A and B are shown apart, each in its own frame.
Chain A
Amino acid sequence: MNLDYTDDQKAFRQEVREFLAAELPARLSDKVRAGQALSKADHEEWHAILNARGWLAGNWPKEFGGTGWDAVERHIFEEETTAAHAPRIVPFGLHMLGPVLQKFGSKAQQDHWLPRILSGEDWWCQGYSEPGAGSDLASLKCEAVRDEDHYVVNGQKTWTTLGQHANMIFCLVRTSKEGKPQEGISFLLIDMESPGVEVRPITLLDGGVEVNEVWFSDVRVPAENLVGDENKGWTYAKYLLTHERTNIAGVGFANAGLQSLKRIARAERDGDRALIENPHFAARIARVEIDLMAMATTNLRVVSAAAAGQAPGPESSMLKLKGTVIRQEINALTKAAVGPWAIPFQSEALEGANEPSAGPDYAMPATRTYLNNRKLSIYGGSNEVQRSIIAKTMLEL
């Protein structure tokens, strides 16, 4: 047992730090620090910088143009980039579709789609959830019917994150109504510019637009865009979910959020003292920091087991659950810390349209982030679904 990083790992951390100091544009890190929404061009700019360094696909093997990093190296990269307020990597192509194509895609699909993810030629989004299929994803109805060398797709997807920027969507579609619901699902790649695809934005309670409804009416998709076998899509989706969860603890985000919370609580006044000297407030910060210290170590234990070659298992459910609870508590405390300055509605849609509030800059994103991050315990399998997974797999109940 040993909690220290190896010399190689320390050197790698230093290399990442130097890269970020030299290459991360202040314009982007300022936006991230201030909690402002990033534009499509912002994301593309950062992806291109990482790609030029060969560091865009941290979770891909070298043969596909990835870094070949192990789980500890990925963790160090994640820690350093979040601490430097770099934009997060848009996960849909890189973290979700990429691993599925590498594992289940044909050689032709790999050769065609993977380089386009790295170059930014394609922006992918995820077509999983439907109005009637959330936690019970296998009940999805969006239908693909084979018509010679095409599939004809009809139905609706929803909660499609950043779908407004995307030109491609990977979808779970129903190709059979026989047998168990899981057995009639296929994994299909659809060009968003095809006739019959319509994207409608959904405004969320924080005022922002990051998710969409996507409608398909008689959309013709070449049959070569089927990944793997017909009716085996559920297996691929489950594989994707485990990959999506390897970094689900969000330790980097939580640490950055906690540091920001402490800065705000030192700056805010509470009568004659700083807010952080209010013992009740300090106790709530302390509790979440203590929880985070333990969770960060749980995360490292899982990361280091993964680096030793163990497959991510139900531990990722535990990390997802605890990680989201901690981040939501930090968001709630940050909103509490800014006091009345939480009241001005600082929605993305109204940016520039209203008189700016006279409050401190750090107060601006507090309410918006708090409201927006209610999603953390809902998406990627709600926390209740995670509890059921834990009970079934780890407790065998």
Chain B
Amino acid sequence: MNFELSDEARMLQDGLRRYLADAYARPLREPSDTVWAGLAEMGVIGALFPEEAGGFGGTGWDIALVFEELGRVGSPEPLLDTGVLSGGLVAAAGGDVEAVIAGGTRLAFAHGEPGGRYDPTRVDTRVEDGRLTGRKAVVAHATSADELLVSAREGEALTLWRVDPDAVEMHDYPMTGGGFAADIVLNDTPGERLGEGDATEAIVQAQARATLALCAEALGLMERIRALTTDYLKTRKQFGRPIGTFQVLQHRMADLLIEIEQARSAVVNLAGNVDGPDRDRHVAATKNLIGEVARLVAEEAIQMHGGIGMTDEYELSHLVRRLTMVDHRFGDTLYHLERFIRLAVA
């Protein structure tokens, strides 16, 4: 048992933290080609892939480390979608991810459908003779993707297809946390098959790793929000003294700190189990806990800031918007509570 980072991991963390501090010296709320190129050059995308795929990491610990750092600066880069979710699926199917690791190709995973909510198997898009027909909903970072990965039913089997973004109809809109998403219409659209056999398990596995990335990002966001809120409590004066001297706020802040430590432990648990036999129970437990704590931290941070916490201009707004959206991907608090009950309680 060892909770210390290895020397390599420590170097990656230090380098990444320094780079991000510089890159986000003026906070960026939208994805930036410069930052993306910088991440690729540092090897951050490669850290998400195992050696056999051309990367130099790819464990749960690597994912957790990278995304916590991105969370700390509220980075809106499509690294989860490109590197963990779509890139993970391509690599798992034996596809080439060299261009992804080099930063040249960005990917988006068009999987969820209208009415599908959080069920990863609820896919009605059909494929016949290599041509896809159906609708996909809220495809994150679809408009900036060089290539789409689309799930579709071929007979009963759930299959994956590479699709040219220019060949589909996209209805795009900004996301609450930054970047753009799109609803996608496929109408006899040509695709190229990725991998063989049924892809359900591959999708569940990629989503488990993406859930880890999202939870680690939430942890980083919460750490930054905690720091901002603590600073504010020390500097904001009312009734002639810093509001952080009021015990009611001290105790609420102490509770936040405890819950953020719980969140850190939940991320550790998932990082250590995401590729193991107890994966599903840990995905459910961690995503549920992160959802609960994220809501508490977001709401308490705004409340303790008062009016300034409501303003768009202040740094907190972007962080809170991203944190609030964590519960809306890969299953929310209640979805995972029910899964946990099925797996561990009932």
By a beta-carbon cutoff of 8 Å, the part of chain A in contact with chain B is 1-6, 9, 72, 262, 276-277, 279, 282-283, 285-287, 289-291, 293-298, 300-301, 304-305, 308, 315, 318, 321-322, 384, 386-388, 390-392, 394-397
A295 to B258 alpha-carbon distance, docked (Å) = 10
Q: Are B1 and A384 in contact (CB under 8 A)?
A: no
Q: Which of B3, B271, B285, B344 makes the CB contact (< 8 A) with A305? A: B3
Candidates A5, A289, A386, A397; contact of B344 at CB < 8 Å:
A289
A364 to chain B, nearest CB (A): 24
- A residues less than 8 Å from B251 (CB atoms): 384, 387-388, 391
Q: Given A276-B346, A304-B2, A395-B257, decide whether A298 and B230 contact each other with a Cβ distance below 8 A.
A: no
**Stretch with Cβ within 8 A of A (4 or more), from B28-36, B182-190, B260-268:** B260-268
CA distance A322 to B261 in the complex (A): 10
C-alpha gap A144/B247 in the complex (Å): 35
Residues of chain A within 8 A (CB-CB) of B234 are: 396-397
CA gap between A245 and B212 in the complex, in Å: 32
A279 CB contacts on chain B under 8 angstroms: 341
Name the one of B5, B250, B273, B344 contacting A1, with C-beta atoms under 8 angstroms.
B5
With contacts A277-B346, A291-B262 known, is A394 near B257, CB below 8 A? yes
**Contact-residue bracket for chain B:** 35 or more
Interchain residue pairs with CB less than 8 A apart (18): A1-B2, A1-B268, A2-B1, A3-B269, A262-B345, A279-B341, A282-B345, A285-B341, A293-B285, A297-B266, A304-B1, A384-B251, A387-B251, A391-B250, A391-B254, A394-B254, A397-B234, A397-B250
The answer to whether B205 has its CB under 8 Å from any CB of chain A is: no
**Contacting B262 at CB < 8 Å: which of A295, A390, A391?**
A295
| A287: chain B residues within 8 A (beta carbon) | 288, 337
Smallest CB–CB gap between B88 and chain A, Å?
Answer: 20
**Given A290-B340, A294-B262, is A300 in contact with B285 using a C-beta cutoff of 8 Å?**
no
- The CA of A296 and the CA of B266, in the complex, are separated in Å by 10
B residues adjacent to A (C-beta < 8 A): 1-6, 9, 61, 230, 233-234, 244-245, 247, 249-251, 253-255, 257-258, 261-266, 268-269, 271-273, 285, 288-289, 337-338, 340-341, 344-346
Add 8 more A-B contacts to A304-B1, A318-B261, A392-B250 (CB < 8 A).
A290-B288, A300-B3, A304-B2, A321-B258, A322-B258, A395-B230, A395-B244, A395-B257
Contact of B272 (CB < 8 Å), options: A3, A296, A322: A3
**Bound complex: CA of A75 vs CA of B260, how far in Å?**
23
| Structural contact, A297 and B1, CB atoms closer than 8 A | no
A330 to chain B, nearest CB (A): 13
Q: A1: which B residues are within 8 A, CB to CB?
A: 2-6, 9, 61, 268, 271-272
Chain B residue with the shortest CB-CB distance to A386: B254
Contacts of B261 in A (CB 8 A): 298, 315, 318
Query: Cβ of A391: which chain B residues have Cβ within 8 Å of it?
Result: 250-251, 253-254
Give Cα A1 to B12, complex, Å.
14
How many angstroms from the CA of A3 to the CA of B272 in the assembled complex?
Answer: 6
CA distance A384 to B4 in the complex (A): 31
Which of the residues A283, A318, A397 comes within 8 Å of B245, measured between beta carbons?
Answer: A397
Residues of A within 8 A of B255 (CB): 387
A318 to B340, CA, bound (A): 25
Q: Is the CB of B289 within 8 A of A291?
A: yes
For residue B9, give the distance in angstroms from its CB to the closest CB of chain A: 7
- Minimum distance in angstroms from B272 CB to a CB of chain A: 4
Contact partners of A304 in chain B: CB under 8 A:
1-3
Instruction: Say whether B269 contacts A294, CB under 8 Å.
Output: yes
Cβ–Cβ < 8 Å partners of A5 in chain B: 1
Instruction: Let me know if A290 and B285 touch, CB within 8 A.
Output: yes
Q: Which among A285, A290, A300, A391 has the highest number of chain B CB atoms within 10 Å?
A: A290
Q: A289-B344, A290-B285 are in contact. Are A295 and B250 (CB under 8 A)?
A: no
User: Which B residue sits closest to A318, measured CB to CB?
Assistant: B258
Contacts A72-B1, A291-B289; is A397 near B233 (CB within 8 Å)?
yes
Kindly name the residue among B254, B273, B340, B344 whose own CB sees the greatest number of chain A CB atoms within 10 A: B254
Closest 9 CB pairs of A and B: A391-B250, A297-B265, A3-B272, A390-B254, A387-B254, A397-B244, A294-B265, A387-B251, A294-B262
Contact B257–A390 (Cβ < 8 Å):
yes
| Shortest distance from the beta carbon of B294 to any chain A beta carbon, whole Å | 14
Closest to A305 in B: B3
A189 CA to B31 CA, complexed, in Å? 67
Contact status B1-A4, CB under 8 Å: yes
- CB-defined contacts of A392 to chain B, threshold 8 Å: 250
Find B266's partner among A9, A294, A301, A321 (CB 8 Å cutoff).
Answer: A294
- Find the B residue at minimum CB distance from A300: B1
Find the A residue at minimum CB distance from B334: A283
Contact indicator B253/A395 (Cβ below 8 Å): yes
Q: A390's closest neighbor in chain B, by CB?
A: B254
Give the nearest-CB partner of B268 in chain A.
Answer: A297
Which chain B residue lies CB-closest to A321?
A: B258
- Complex Cα spacing A392 to B269, Å: 29
A277, A289, A390, A391: most-surrounded residue (chain B CB, <10 A)? A391
B305 to chain A, nearest CB (A): 15
* Chain B residues in 8 Å Cβ range of A301: 3, 265, 268
The chain B residue sitting closest to A322, CB to CB, is B258
Assess whether B345 is in contact with A387, with CB atoms less than 8 Å apart: no
User: For residue B4, which residues in chain A have a CB less than 8 angstroms away from its CB?
Assistant: 1, 308
Neighbouring B residues of A318 by C-beta, 8 Å? 257-258, 261
Cα separation A6 to B1 with both chains bound (whole Å): 7
Are B253 and A397 in touch, CB under 8 angstroms? yes
Interfacial chain B residues near A3, Cβ < 8 Å: 1, 268-269, 272-273
Q: Which chain A positions have C-beta within 8 A of B61? A: 1
**Pairwise interchain contact A286-B1, C-beta atoms closer than 8 A:** no
* Contacts A276-B346, A286-B341; A390 near B258 (Cβ below 8 A): yes
